[in-house]
């Protein structure tokens, strides 16, 4: 359904829309892990059709996929961040896995939560109860939620405290049109740390629990475990264990809550450093015990 609604809504707001890749069979879209085949198609379609952006969503239309004019997808947390600034949010609630550069990229307060929209909704509810205004949230996948009413071009935008992909896509495209800048320039201006993530499958939950217990037992354990990748500067254990290193990079270990797998998230100054840190982090997990 989202594919038809995107065409109708974008055309209504003045876009020239070119439907692409339509299929009568279901195609799962993971907006956080776009397949190499899909990435190749996006990069082919954009210059081929002279597009300013390509939009799509996951199966139930609540997680956005948005590319720049080169067919390169924007990260979901960047889409959420751009939307927060566009709406002039006062409070942004987002999971700990969203990019660490968010705090320095807006004039709003940032509240971090565990991963999952129920935790984001709970954080927004608490902010409202504390009397805060302009409360919204987003997940690392770009799914956006609003707890407060916002005003856009003199028109009210009612609260939508359930995950949505249409508002963030429309906000980012409208910003691009208003500023007369391609999406690649808008994205680059934020200069967020480069993020990467992966997981080890078939990693027993008992082993994940043992690793987290070991790392939390003492700073000595944590320092020794991370010695091959860097020196600990600060840490957070909101959901798993997220560690800021003295070189400015970040590494985050998080057990899956319902599957035998261990996840590793990293941030670094550039793609090469991020991939190197991610591979080292996965090796540390793999070799534990």
DSSP labels, 9-40: HHHHTT------S--SS-----TTS--HHHHH
Q: What is the 3-state secondary structure (H, E, C) of 73-141?
A: ECCHHHHHHHHHHHHCCCEEEEECCCCHHHHHCCCCEEEEECCCHHHHHHHHHHHHHCCCCCEEEECCC
Write the class of the CATH domain 194-286: alpha beta
Residues of the chain with pLDDT under 50: none
In angstroms, rounded to a whole number, what is the distance separating the alpha carbons of residues 277 and 268? 8
In angstroms, rounded to a whole number, what is the distance separating the alpha carbons of residues 77 and 223? 29
pTM over cut 0.85: yes
Q: Where do the structural domains in the chain lie, given as residue ranges?
A: 76-165, 194-286
Task: Let me know if domain 76-165 sits in CATH 3.90.180.10.
Answer: no
In angstroms, rounded to a whole number, what is the distance separating the alpha carbons of residues 122 and 137? 10
Quick check: 245 and 277 in contact, CB under 8 A? no
Q: What is the pLDDT of residue 1?
A: 61
């Amino acid at each position: 359904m989202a594919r038809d609604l995107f065409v109708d809504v974008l055309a209504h707001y003045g876009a020239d829309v070119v439907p692409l890749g339509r299929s009568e069979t279901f195609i799962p879209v993971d907006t956080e892990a776009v397949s190499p085949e899909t990435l190749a198609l996006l990069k082919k379609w954009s210059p081929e059709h002279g597009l300013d952006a390509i939009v799509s969503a996951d199966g139930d239309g609540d997680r956005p996929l948005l590319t720049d004019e080169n067919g390169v997808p924007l990260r979901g947390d960047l889409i959420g961040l751009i939307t927060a600034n566009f709406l002039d949010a006062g409070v942004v609630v987002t999971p700990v896995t969203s990019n660490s550069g968010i705090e320095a990229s807006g004039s709003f307060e940032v509240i971090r939560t565990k991963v999952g929209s129920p935790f984001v909704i709970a954080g927004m509810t608490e902010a409202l109860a504390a009397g805060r205004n302009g409360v919204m949230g987003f997940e690392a996948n770009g799914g956006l939620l609003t707890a407060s009413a916002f005003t856009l071009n003199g028109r009210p935008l009612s609260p939508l405290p359930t995950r949505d992909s249409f508002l963030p896509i429309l906000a980012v495209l409208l910003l691009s049109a208003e500023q007369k800048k391609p999406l690649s320039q808008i994205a680059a201006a934020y200069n967020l740390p480069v993020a990467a993530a992966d997981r080890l499958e078939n990693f027993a939950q008992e082993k994940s629990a043992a690793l987290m217990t070991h790392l939390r037992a003492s700073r000595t354990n944590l320092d020794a475990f991370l010695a091959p990748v860097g020196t600990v500067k600060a840490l957070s254990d909101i959901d798993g264990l997220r560690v800021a290193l003295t070189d400015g990079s970040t590494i985050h270990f998080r057990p899956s809550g319902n599957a035998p797998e261990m996840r590793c998230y990293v941030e670094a100054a550039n793609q090469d450093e991020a991939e190197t840190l991610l591979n080292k982090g996965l090796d540390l997990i793999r070799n534990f015990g």
